[in-house]
A and B are shown apart, each in its own frame.
Chain A
Amino acid sequence: MSENTSHSHSERKPGAKREMSRRQFLAYTLGGTTGFLAAGVIVPMVRFAVDPVLQPKSASDWVKVVEESKITAEPKSFKFQVHQVDGWYESDPELEAWIAKDSSGKIFALNPTCKHLGCTVNWNNNPSYKDQYFCPCHGAHYTKEGKNLAVAPAPLDEYDVKIENGFVYLGELHANSIVK
């Protein structure tokens, strides 16, 4: 609005001394005051609202899942619990991972959440896609390493894996690094 109140001064002679009318001065002061009031009120609130965005990502702890000896070349599903702090709500939700050994014997763990639209995939549950992860929702399927073969736009996510004292520990979830 304040821009428009000054339109009568837009035709200034070039080189003429820049003079401000009383009305224009008042309009600018009013604009400044408005800005101060708005900032004083809004800034704390916006900071309050965006706080979750500015929180540092907490590195998740390693969770002990299963004995190393139970892992075979065939992917198997294992359930494990993580401690989750969600604002004022703390819970221990159960998560699932498909854990298997690759051809060189290295253990890897995949998250069964389909990268298409978030359904849950299952190993070897569809006869037409033998030895593959298959998603019942839209027929997305993946190789044993999680490589997306159809429908899904990306390979299955992978958990960090750590072996300690004969146990498999799972860590953070991240994009699949086995298949490109």
Chain B
Amino acid sequence: MMKGVYNWIDERLDITPMWRDVADHEVPEHVNPAHHFSAFVYCFGGLTFFITLIQILSGMFLTMYYVPDIINAYKSVDYLQHKVAFGVIVRGMHHWGASLVIVMMFLHTLRVFFTGSYKAPREMNWVVGMLIFFVMLGLGFTGYLLPWDNKAYFATQVGIKIAASVPYLGGYIQTFLQGGDIVGAQTLTRFFALHVFFLPAVLLALLGGHFYMIRKQGIAGPL
């Protein structure tokens, strides 16, 4: 039955080559920890992606309960974490995942750096990777405000003050981030929009580019 449906679609859209191409492409053995245990350093990129997937999924589910509003944000987070079944786990995944993704990404960056894998012809992929790093930090920063507890509020104050110290443009950046003169209701909705729509969109685009370039250029050979 499944095979029939698959064949029907394949006959029309010729989909086999698409996944065959992904499934059957050759990967050098030196990145597989099953062959040399030290190759586990090559796993951090994949782990970053895996945890990013967890982040996207848990984030989607969290928005089922969360409201970005200064009166209700804290209450809704409190509610979803302490009243809803598995709320502790889903929010925990998102919270700890955020830290882990930074750790994994950092280790991945170090691996690429110390194996010199960013050298020609892979310079562009390194640059895209660094942009992903910035976007992740941005996601961490914007996500921090959302529970609207004291920690969120004051950490954001400090973060925005840092951005405001940029010469000439600082004031504009501050107003743009705050959405007004103070860190308040408009800051929260802004950070929510950035955290949930804008930055993830940029992230997905960059990830697409990152993976495409890996396929196109292959994995750097062994040292």
Contacts and interface: CB of A to CB of B under 8 A. Distances in A.
A49 B64 contact: yes
A42 interface: yes
Chain B interface bracket (under 10, 10 to 19, 20 to 34, 35 or more):
20 to 34
A158 to B, nearest CB: 32
Contacts of B57: 41-42, 45
A49 B61 contact: yes
Given A44-B93, A48-B87, A3 B2 contact: yes
Interface string A29-53: 0000000010001101101110100
Given A51-B84, A88-B76, A45 B58 contact: yes
Given A1-B23, A88-B78, A44 B89 contact: yes
A44 B90 contact: yes
B175 to A, nearest CB: 31
A87 interface: yes
Contact of A51 (B19, B54, B85, B93): B85
Given A3-B2, A4-B6, A48-B84, A88 B75 contact: yes
B201 interface: no
A87 B65 contact: yes
B76 A87 contact: yes
Contacts of A45: 57-58, 61, 86, 90
Contacts of A5: 23
Contacts of A20: none
Contacts of B19: 1
Most B-side CB within 10 Å, residue of A1, A3, A88, A89: A88
B2 to A, nearest CB: 7
Contacts, number: 50
Nearest to B79: A88
A47 B75 contact: no
A59 interface: no
Count class of interface residues, chain A: 10 to 19
A49 B83 CA distance: 12
* Dominant secondary structure at the A interface: helix
Contacts of B61: 45, 48-49
A42 B83 CA distance: 19
A54 to B, nearest CB: 7
A120 B54 CA distance: 46
A89 B84 contact: no
B217 interface: no
A130 B6 CA distance: 64
B72 interface: yes
Nearest to B20: A4
B78 A48 contact: no
B135 to A, nearest CB: 22
Interface in A74-114: 87-89
Given A42-B57, A45-B58, A88 B72 contact: yes
Contacts of A88: 72, 75-76, 78-79
B85 A48 contact: yes
Interface in A1-42: 1, 3-5, 37, 41-42
A87 B53 contact: no
Contacts of A47: 85-86
25 contacts: A1-B23, A3-B2, A5-B23, A37-B50, A41-B54, A41-B57, A41-B93, A42-B57, A44-B93, A45-B61, A45-B86, A48-B64, A48-B80, A48-B84, A48-B89, A48-B90, A51-B84, A51-B86, A51-B87, A54-B85, A87-B65, A87-B83, A88-B75, A88-B78, A88-B79
Given A3-B2, A88-B76, 10 more contacts: A1-B23, A4-B6, A41-B53, A44-B86, A45-B57, A47-B86, A48-B84, A48-B86, A51-B86, A88-B72
